[in-house]
Amino acid sequence: MAQPRPLSDAERERIYQGRSQEKTIPAIALELDRSEAVVHKWSRRIRAEGVQGLRSRQRGRKAVGDLSSFDPRVRQAALALKRTHRRWGADRVLVELRHDPQFSGVALPSRSRLAAFSSSSVPTV
């Protein structure tokens, strides 16, 4: 059995507008060609959270890995530095990241996290 397609942003907006115009849930469901349960679900969410409830929520597991909680640019730069300068350790890579103006104000990983990332991401030749 196929999964129903998710509501588009426009459909959620129409539910919000319909409920604010005091349309009934069956009327909105008929207008959108969706089930009443779906319209009721989004109607409840909009009532509880307001306009913020119209946004989709992040689903699934969060990213995992040595540098997954940091800005992706940090991960890319650390990997590029380590690949370019294979003999550099985590301390030197961290010094270079700290001196890079694009990372001013951006959280940087600790030396130990960089070391773990380097050992798992950069193949030895």
92-105 per-position pLDDT tens digit: 999 999 999 999 98
Which two structure tokens, joined as six digits, stand for 42?
A: 């989004």
**DSSP string over 10-39:** HHHHHHHHHHHTT--HHHHHHHHT--HHHH
Instruction: Report the distance separating Cα 82 and Cα 79, nearest Å.
Output: 5
For 8, the 3-state DSSP assignment is: coil
The letter for the amino acid at 39 is V
For 58, residues 6+ apart whose C-beta sits below 8 A from its C-beta are: none
The predicted pLDDT at position 10 comes to 92
- pLDDT, one tens digit per residue, over 6-62 is 888 899 999 999 999 999 999 999 999 999 999 999 999 988 888 888 887 777 777
Q: Is the pTM of this model over 0.85?
A: no
Q: Tokens 């800005």 appear where? A: 71
